[in-house]
Copies of this chain bind each other. A is one copy, B any other.
Amino acid sequence: METNERKNDRRVKYTKAALKQSLLEQMRDRPIEKLTVKDICERADINRGTFYAHYSDPRDLLSQIEEELMSEILKSVERSLQIGDISLLLADIFESIEKNRDLCSVLFSEYGDKAFLKRVIFIARDQSIAEWKRIIPGAKREQLEMLYMFYANGCIAIIENWVQNGMKESPKELTTFIEKISTNGLLAFQ
């Protein structure tokens, strides 16, 4: 208790891991709102009461999984954020997703969490808007925010498609594709 602050107990680790895996398995079949604590625990072979010792509900469990992934992504884009290169930043994000393939193939699938993917893409928001402001000095801030929303949601769709089709393209290819669309539009594909 004094040394480990009740965190490193193997029993706790096992329980949490089993519950997480069970949740992710079930999310392949239905959205988080339709999952029951009962089902998650049965598949994990964990007592239902134990679930409530760690999480308040399935959504809480999912949130903790997401926060773990988010901090990992944030760590791996740290450098690009400081450098201030958007294409580097985008590529970093794609690589993080690729590294967490198993997890992301659930989180960004049919019954995944669109709001979370949105948060991930919005990591690049301030920087993108700032860079655009330099390129297009005439544009108003509000207009640039609208543009970011447009492109961000396009990106999200591309990522969802990418993940669901087995991530065949490389992060580099995706970055190039998205940069082409955003800077030059359809005409870039002539």
Contacts and interface: CB of A to CB of B under 8 A. Distances in A.
Interface string A123-155: 000000000100110110001001101111111
Contacts of A182: 185-186
A181 interface: yes
Given A147-B181, A153-B154, A183-B186, 16 more contacts: A31-B33, A114-B114, A136-B186, A138-B189, A146-B158, A146-B177, A149-B158, A150-B157, A150-B158, A150-B181, A152-B157, A153-B153, A182-B185, A184-B184, A184-B187, A185-B188
Nearest to A137: B190
Chain A interface extent, by class: 20 to 34
Contacts of A149: 154, 157-158, 161
Contacts of A185: 181-185, 187-188
A152 B183 CA distance: 17
A46 interface: no
The 8 closest A-B pairs by CB, nearest first: A185-B185, A33-B33, A150-B154, A153-B157, A154-B154, A153-B153, A184-B185, A149-B157
